[in-house]
Homo-oligomer: A and B are copies of this chain.
């Protein structure tokens, strides 16, 4: 591929064909997203243990940088629930929430995460995200949703609580249950109930009132804003702050500040693994949203470019008072549904949020934290979906086991342990499965040239010819398995004179397996049994030709299994000197 700047800065591509109509669509989307993002950003900052303005700041520079470097046209970048929780878990071990050290650790985490994403993008390591299997992601998101909801209960109840596992949070809540603030609880419970009703009941109601589906949708999305306005007015009007209702309080009225992450080697070392996990989880969340939306418009996403876009966004967050960000599901869908056509919509959203940061922050002084907690709880509970357990149970026990372990470990030991264990377990289970591959003894389907499993089909067999089809690549993990298998089948008293390995499903033979094949060949030779191979794939055959094995093999290599069968059963002992390459 030749070097083109638009390959690296997609903005140059869509920017060159920007029209007045695109502009108006993007502007409308930006207004809608801005209104939705104000409470959401404050709430996620709260979840991350940061001052509320950090959430707004984390939505401004990152969204602009992603607009320049990202490849998705509709993705909206900023704070999201799971990454906010992971941020709190990572930094909570290092500094006390509310301190300067905590805020600097958050900047550093964003910087590290940005650097990791950029490096992955430059070296095209996007495939690393594939090591998170779909069930592990689903399990992790579900468990995180529960953890997040549990962590927000303290704001709903007006009591202190802490911890990064479900047990810690619940027991911490239970200890303080005596000092519940009733007014806070009333406010929080009403907000939560209202928001659930908005999700479930409002849209059909609005449709019944004759609103168009699109307007009904906008009405539904405005629910959190209504809850924010009403509860803020209630606290202000009835002086509830004096009754112990925790409010957001003073938020600095300013544009995002210029900030510097820390480069202390100790801190960087402590935050590296959390940053890596946040980067990968954030990338996976972001790219699945981006791909879903792109597919609807027949656009394509470039994963490596996405890494660069998200990397730039996170470095931007670290330099402007933010914390780790990624492409969020709800904000991106709203952006897309509101008609955003290019990343410029994101840039306009950033402008809207900057105006809010300067002009509207005094208005949120009396916003109760309980309302923010309610918006978080309602949002994340929609992520909780245990159906993945049922689906994987029916399809594959290994996948079920991986997802169940991910859920249990995330709830029991926190997000980092949970997701790491999920990845390691999926890989281990895959290796375990390939270590004991399915092997079928096959025979000839009468009247055809096809060979099928003798246990599943009525096929012709010959006692002196054993044909085994190994349904797996041969590599170090199962090399000895094959040795044991063949020696078991050709042991004392067996009438077998020829073993044919049918290699149609063998996609690789690594050096360990090659040595095992040599050992098998040697032992069968001593026993007077021929070893043959059929249907060897082109790439595998190319490799074997460079080794001693083909020269040492006591039998032959046949292009087709049928040739092998004919040669070894009909013309026993006759030479068939076709050693051909197949593919």
Q: Which residues of A contact B (CB under 8 A)?
A: 127, 130-136, 295, 300, 391-392, 394-396, 398-399, 426-427, 430-438, 440, 449-450, 452-453, 455-457, 471-473, 475-481, 487, 504-508, 510-512, 514-515, 523, 537-539, 543, 546-547, 560, 581-583
Contacts and interface: CB of A to CB of B under 8 A. Distances in A.
Contacts of A471: 507, 537, 539
Contacts of A472: 473, 507
A511 B399 contact: yes
A133 B510 contact: yes
Given A133-B476, A505-B537, 16 more contacts: A131-B477, A133-B510, A300-B487, A391-B511, A392-B511, A395-B514, A395-B546, A395-B547, A396-B543, A434-B473, A437-B507, A438-B537, A440-B583, A452-B583, A456-B538, A504-B504
Contacts of A539: 438, 471
B453 A132 contact: no
A394 B427 CA distance: 29
A328 to B, nearest CB: 21
Given A133-B512, A395-B547, A475 B427 contact: no
Nearest to A392: B511
Nearest to A399: B511
A427 B431 CA distance: 9
B395 A436 contact: no
**The 6 residue pairs across chains A and B that have the minimum distance between CB atoms:** A133-B476, A453-B583, A134-B512, A399-B511, A456-B583, A471-B507
Contacts of A457: 583
A538 B394 contact: no
A435 B133 CA distance: 12
Contacts of A477: 127, 130-131, 430
A428 to B, nearest CB: 9
Nearest to A126: B480
Nearest to A457: B583
A475 to B, nearest CB: 6
Contacts of A438: 507, 537, 539
Contacts of A432: 127
B127 A435 contact: yes
A171 B338 CA distance: 69
A520 to B, nearest CB: 11
A560 B450 CA distance: 9
The residue among A295, A471, A539 with the most chain B CB atoms within 10 A of its own CB is A471
A190 B365 CA distance: 89
Contact of A543 (B132, B395, B476, B508): B395
A136 B476 CA distance: 10
The residue among A436, A438, A473, A583 with the most chain B CB atoms within 10 A of its own CB is A583
Given A440-B583, A452-B583, A476 B511 contact: no
13 contacts: A127-B435, A127-B480, A133-B512, A135-B511, A135-B512, A395-B547, A396-B543, A433-B508, A440-B583, A449-B449, A455-B583, A456-B538, A505-B505
A395 B130 contact: no
A537 B456 CA distance: 11
Nearest to A560: B450
A507 B510 contact: no
A463 B197 CA distance: 54
Nearest to A503: B505
Given A395-B543, A396-B543, A582-B452, A431 B131 contact: yes
B511 A134 contact: yes
A13 B514 CA distance: 35
A489 to B, nearest CB: 13
Contacts of A427: 427, 431
Contact of A505 (B135, B478, B504, B511): B504
A579 to B, nearest CB: 16
A511 B449 contact: no
Given A395-B547, A546-B394, A560-B450, A476 B507 contact: no
A476 B134 contact: yes
Contacts of A514: 395
A130 B481 contact: yes
